[in-house]
Structure 1
Amino acid sequence: MTPAATHDDVVIADWIDRNGHLNLAYYLVLFDRATDVLFDRLGVGAAYSAASGCSLFVVETHTLYERELALGAQVRIDCHVLGADEKRLHLAHEMFRAGEADRVALLEGMVLHVDLGSRRTAPFPAAIAATLAGVVTAAPPAGLGRRISGLGRR
């Protein structure tokens, strides 16, 4: 499965928590940086927002933390487009230690295309919609669509 975009990054000291590993909030920072790379690759990044008056708003995410990361860890984030319709984009990001095959974390998210003037959803322009349709993955990552089951509930 070829990602729509890839982002490389490194874990810095300010992100390490009292347990000696990457704090959960900074997994999201790394995923957010990867999202910016993906959006630029798809033509809906900062330049698109400045020119069109539209942007993308994340409205829901689910994160699965599978392995710890320590100070200085080099990471690669593979960005996948799971689906797109006229106003929405469904994404998945997989995080790996550089050079390793075992996944560290998975983020699944839903993004809306928004007109910044009205602050309402708006259809993607036809050219952008065509680009999005062309990068939808045929083989989504494992672990998507999970839910947390509460203690004591069956």
Structure 2
Amino acid sequence: MATDATYRGTVYPWQCDHVGHMNIMWYVGKFDEANWNLFARLGLMPSYLRESGRGMAAVQQNIAYKRELLAGDIVEVTSRLLEIREKSIRFRHEMRNAETGEVAATCEITAVHMDRQARKSAPFAPAIRNVALDHLDPEPAMA
């Protein structure tokens, strides 16, 4: 899964701040779009979420900014599923400048599968959990 982009796009001039680089709100937005593409690969499609009354909620998000992105830069995000638990998943996005290959930012998120009506966490359906287990890409051991 790590080699398949979960987001591709460009940096528009109106996404840049007074310093001339993409403003942090747009990094978050592009990572959010990658979330939904990753979720779809796991079976958490919009139709499933609507029909089952389920939803996904981020409970922790850590972003590291590594390099600037400027107007006109092409952006690509790849994603890795790091952990699946009964009711939550943890994954990592890596945003690159598609032309240079340089990592612009990383984002690690923990998200909870929830019952939207009860407003509580809920276990993943077995079919979704099984797909997620097939995509699991644990972090390499620290040296």
TM-score by length of structure 1 reads 0.85
Report the 3-state secondary structure (helix = DSSP H, G, I; strand = E; otherwise coil) of the residue aligned with 2:118.
coil
State how far apart, in whole Å, the 2-side matches of 1:75 and 1:24 are: 14
Once residues 4 and 124 of structure 2 are traced to their aligned partners in structure 1, the CA distance between those partners, rounded to angstroms, is: 18
2:47 corresponds to: 47
Distance in 2, matches of 1:34 and 1:59, equals 17
Query: What are the ranges of 5 or more consecutive residues in structure 1 without an aligned counterpart?
Result: 143-154
Cα root mean square deviation, aligned: 1.7
Give the corresponding residue for 1:96: 96
Normalised to the residue count of structure 2, the TM-score between the two structures is: 0.91
Q: Report 1:98-137 matches (<5 A).
A: 98-137=98-137
Look up the SS of the partner of 1:118 in the other structure. coil
Q: Deviations over 1:88-134 (max 9, x none)?
A: 10010000011433211000010000001101000001101111111
The total of aligned residue pairs comes to 141
Q: How does 1:76-91 map to 2 (within 5 A)?
A: 76-91=76-91
The residue type paired with residue 107 of structure 2 is: L
Q: Which whole-Å CA distance do the structure 2 matches of 1:3 and 1:86 have between them? A: 26
Letter in 1 for 2:20: G
The offset of 1:14, in angstroms, is 2.0
- Structure 2 stretches lacking a partner, 5+ long: none
Go from structure 1 to structure 2 and tell me whether the alpha carbon gap of 1:71 and 1:27 turns closer, same or farther (over 3 Å shift): same
Q: Which runs of 4+ in 1 moved over 6 A?
A: none
Identity %: 32
